[in-house]
Structure formats: C-alpha cells, structure tokens
Structure 1
Amino acid sequence: MQLTRRNILTTVGLGIAAYPAAALAKPTKMLTPEEISAIETAFGKKGRSVENEALYTIPLPRNDLKITIQGEPIPIPFGFGGWVSFKRTRDGKQLMVMSDTVLLQHEVAGVMDGAIANGLEIAAVHNHFFYEEPRVFYMHLHGMGTDAGELARRYLAAIQPSPLHPANQPKPNPGATPPIPAFDIPALDALVGYKATPNGATIKYTVGRADLTIMDMNVEMTAAIGLNSWASFAGTMEKAHIAGDIAMLEREVNLVIPILRKAGLEVVALHHHMLFESPKMIFLHYFGTGPALQLAEGFKAALSTLGKKPGRQPMRHR
C-alpha cells in the first residue's frame, strides 16, 4: 500500500487503520550519528537521543520572556519551553520533524508564513494558559523529508522571524547558580506513581500512552514527540502552581473533565495537536494553584481514567 496524503485522509476519515500490520510490526530505526550531527550543526546546539523511542529532540525554551500568571513571576520551564523532535518513518524512507513552538501573539503570523514558505504544515495554534502576561500561544508544526540536515534547516528558516530561533535566544550565564525546586520530590513521586524531572525551580511529570499505538504519516507517535500527559509544578509544597496536558481519546474527554474540575483544576484549552494521526487524539490543558500534594492528586486521578471505557455511550446527533 503506497502511503499518500490522500489515502491517509480517506482511511482515517472512515475510522480504518491506514497502515498495514507488517509496517506496524517493524521497529523504527534510530537516527544515525551522521544525521544527528547534521541536526546539531544546523541548530548550533545539542539535544538528546531518546533511544527507546528512536528519536532525537531539542528543547526550545523562551528564555527571552518574563512571564507572570495573575501577577506572580513564573519560571520559563513551568510551561513556556517548546521543543522540536526528529523521527524516522516505520519504513525508513523518510524523517518527520514535529514541534511545539512558544510564540507571542504578534509572532504567530510570521512563523506561520515561514512554515508555509518552507514546506511545513501548521497542525494547531492555541493557548495553554489563562491569566499569563504577556499572552502566549503555541503553534504545532509538522514536516517530512529525506535529509536530516535539510529538514532541520527548513524548520529553522520557518521559525527565523521569532526570538524562538536558537540564534536569537539569550546565552546562559555560566557563572549563575541554577535554582533548585522547593518540593518534596519523593513524596510527590510516591503519590503520582512516576518520577519527576527537575528543571530549574520546577519539576515535571511526563507520562506516555503505552496502552495505544498512534500512527501519523507512518511515524509512531510516542511521548518525546508529543504524545504524552504531563504535569509541571512551580512554587512550594504549601503553595504550588500546576499546569499540564492530558492526552486523550475522544471517548475519554468527558470522563477527564469532571475529575479535573472536582480537584479544583481549571480546564484552559481543549484541542488537537496533530492532523493525520490514527486514532484521533485530543489534548486538554489545565491549571491550578494550591498545596502540591492536593494538585498532584488531581493529576493522578485524571491519569487513572485514561484507558477506561465510558459508562454510557456518547450522545450522537440525529
């Protein structure tokens, strides 16, 4: 079966898997050292290989921004860092670039025009937060190619109008003392059931969907290429902020929302991140303030709902 845009759209629209079983059984090959070197040369910075997901990813934090939420300064790692990942198709013939870009309102149009000019697709534009100043939006970009260096250069040309571009970001101060999270991480790990990753003054939980096989343009979507639920914490154990995302099947959306609301968490956005994936995934962004353990309970409760069947059939329009 030849994998084309047309037959993907047709089969996904009918709810039929677009990929033959033999292709799904074939493991994805990791990028070669030469391909990784070409990406690093283009970006002028190093990322990291995620061997168990067969991809290479580079963080793109907006360290040029000073963000407040409800007037309180918030660290950039709390949720104002983008990323770009590169992964091979299952048949090994192409590479995918996928990215979540962090943009101010006046930067959106320029990056969108840059993506169009460089053969990339815009998959989504949306908010992740309420109450933040300045107002921040997130653009998901997607592209395919056969040459890692050329694909990286196309992506960088697309984001060139924005301070998001690595060349436009402030250089880190090598003498600065990095901030340390003010959290009882073992206690939170025990409650959530996963290990947090510290990043400056924040910690973050990232949880993939091991129960699902999601394919997009013959690329398996995994946690480090955006198919994940996450929770980021800033502040202290007594007064923390939580922000995050829940990756859901359509039938799970209205199971998760009441659980988050019961936990006192605000649902700030509900949308897609990808265009051609099968089955379709919906992403819910949430935010809350309170004791860290209480906020973590809400995140854990939402995670525990994923994979469950709804107790009643969803309403259908006649």
Structure 2
Amino acid sequence: MNILFVADPLDSFKTYKDSTFTMMREAAARGWNLLACQPQDLHWQRGGQVSARMRQVRLTGRSGKGVTDWFEDTGSDVRALASVDAVVMRKDPPFDSEYFYATHLLERAEVEGARVFNSPRALRDHPEKLAILEFPEFIAPTLVTRSEADIRAFHAEQRDIILKPLDGMGGMGIFRVRDDGLNLGAIIETLNRDGAQTVMVQRYLPEIVDGDKRVLVIDGEPVPFSLARIPQGGEVRGNLAAGGKGVARPLTERDREIAAAIGPKLAERGLLLIGLDIIGTHLTEINVTSPTCFREIHDQAGFDVAARFISALEGRLGR
C-alpha cells in the first residue's frame, strides 16, 4: 500500500514537533510505503492523468531537535496520483494562488480515481478564517470588511478588538487595538491597503491569557485533549510560531459541544482532519489545510493522535 504526502520540502521538517512526520511514522509502522512530493511537482498533460515525480522515502528511526537525517531517498519516479492508495495534502499555508491551483489538480486526480485527504474541493470551500461564519452561534462579535469606516464603527462599539488578514498563518499580521484606539488608522492602512484587501475584526477575548486552544477533530470525532497555546512575554498571540507555550489539556464541555456541532458536518464534506481554534468559549478559526499539534498532545497527554488519524484514513479506504 502506497501513501503520498504532498507537503513542504522534507528537509524543512522539524521532526520533534512536525505533525506530518508523525503521520508518516505511524503509516510506515503499519506497513505503508511512503512517497512524498511538493505541490509544484504536480502536473497534467492532455491524454494523461494528474501525475507527480514522487520520492520514495524510508524513515531512519532518528528524530528530534537538530536531526536532519530522519529520512532516506530510495528512488523517485513519475506516477499518476490515481495509482497510489492514498494522497494526503499537507502543504502548509499560505493559501495562495499556487495552493488554489494545486487543489484543482488534486480534484482532477480524484476524478481519475485518486483518494485525496482532505478533499481538495473542501479545502477551497472552507477558508480558515471565513469558515467560522457558518457557525455564528459559537463565535465572538466579528466583522469581515474592506471598509475603514466599518472597522472604526466596530471598534467604537466593542472598544477592544483584534484585526487580522484573511491569508495570515501562525499569528502573522494580528493586531490588538484597545479602547484608546491608538494606531488604529495605521493598522487599517497596513491590513486593508486602502480598501484593496478584506480584513477580519473580532472582539478581543481576555481568555486568551489562558490559551488559544487547538481542538483536533478526526473524521468527525474530537481528540480528547486540546493544546492550549499560551501567549508569552506580553504577546497577544498564542500561536506556537509566535512564541506561544503549548500545554495539553482535557477538552471542556464547551469544547466538545463545538466539536460535536461542527466535526461531523465537515467530515461529511470530505474534511477528514480539522483543527478548531477556541479561546475561552468562542470559536475563532477552523484550520483545514494542515492542522498541527499532534506531537505536543502525544508527548504531554499520551494520546496518539497520528494513530487515530491513520486509522481514520484506513477506515475511509475500507482497510
């Protein structure tokens, strides 16, 4: 059985915390043959199928901080995606034009018989910032707009707000503006570029000091532990990429309520794996491209997220 990971360059993986690596390790332990490529390796030509030059990967058993020899190439060849048993799309954001084009090639591969997780169409239909708009009962006061006047009116009403770009990742481009409105004009100019770009604005949630929880949901079922990403050093952002500290915690009743309402619905649309971001009792984002935190939850709480994921994938394949 062959499993293809469409991902970032393998040389860039930090195996001590990389969720895609834990997926690969679990799949290999179950006897899967590992293949890897990047989105730019995908191609299609009339008369043929969506194909890619795929690297055959063998894990060395080494991992951890500073480890670079965690894999070996055992060859490469061009194959149709429909010829492998499963394709796992794990390219990190940003969800830019090239990512968008890759989903179309992957969707064409599905027509040709490939099994792709997460569904390429579902990836396009659920942008990570905007997907929460389908579930207003769980979110804080939120505004999506290009209008500077609308943003100023929202600030006047809420008094303490968070502004962020729709295409950001890892906490990039997130600003807090308090009651005094200091630098609001400059921040609006930076983010919406004189009305050229849409901005999301949300009421500031003071519960962020206790962590921005990542709740992983696999095939509609929540992992029983979240990873609370706690801001450090006066930061407003809890993202691990922004220096947040990750602490595994059992799900709260509210976490489970949100996951139960959203998880099965999105699983039916082809989203085998999603990551719900929850601050306090409010949903803030739905991550669908390459949700992380597998390793931290496993290391701290002992729950093997990768095993749950590969079991769910095998279940979808009828194995």
For Structure 1 versus Structure 2, the TM-score category normalised by the shorter chain is: under 0.3
| Structure number with higher strand proportion | 1
| Structure number with higher helix proportion | 2
Q: TM-score, normalised by structure 2?
A: 0.25
